[in-house]
Amino acid sequence: MADSKWYTAILVMSSEIDGAVGEGPLVDLQFRLLQADGADAAYIRAIEIGQANEASYANDDGEIVEWKLAGLHELIELDDAPADGVEVYSRLTQDEPGSLVPPKESLQVFAIEKFSHLTAQEMFDRVEGKES
């Protein structure tokens, strides 16, 4: 991999709950850093990573939850090799800046612990504003 480059692959992982009716899937956009010898190799590697992370398990209600790779949302070649603070993804938008900045406790790294006791459906309901 002497001439390899670094890429950010944005994987689209989709969930399906056995027996769920009328609910759309919960979708996880996963930003993955990978190294490959070119765009085609990076694409193949991103698909392999997504497929390797497909999973099936029983949730707290005994329903079977399946996470499957739906495909890639984006594949971006990075200008710099990974290092502390290197940019791995950027998206330009004309939204109000404050609307894009949630409180610290809502950031995923902090929220996961807070909501770890919830089922996937309960988390989805909260995201959709259907809190019970």
Would you kindly state where each structural domain of the chain is located, as residue ranges?
5-82+89-95
pTM over 0.75: no
Within 13 A of 131's CA, how many CA atoms are on the CB side? 4
pLDDT tens string 42-97: 999 999 999 999 999 998 888 898 999 999 999 999 988 888 887 777 777 778 88
pLDDT tens string 5-54: 999 999 999 988 886 666 777 888 899 999 999 999 999 999 999 999 99
DSSP-assigned letters across all residues of 69-125: EEEEEEEEE-SS---TT---------S-GGGG---GGGSHHHHHHHTTTS-HHHHHH
Q: Collapse the DSSP code of 51 into the 3-class scheme (helix H, G, I; strand E, B; otherwise coil) and give the result.
A: helix
CB 15 within 8 A of CB 72: no
Cα–Cα nearest to 43, from 80, 6, 72, 14: 72
pLDDT for the residue 53: 94
CB 72 within 8 A of CB 44: no
Please give the Cα distance from 18 to 15 (Å, whole number).
10
pLDDT tens string 96-110: 888 878 888 777 777
Q: How far apart are the first and last CA of the chain?
A: 52
Taking 90 as the threshold, does the pLDDT of residue 121 lie above it?
Answer: no
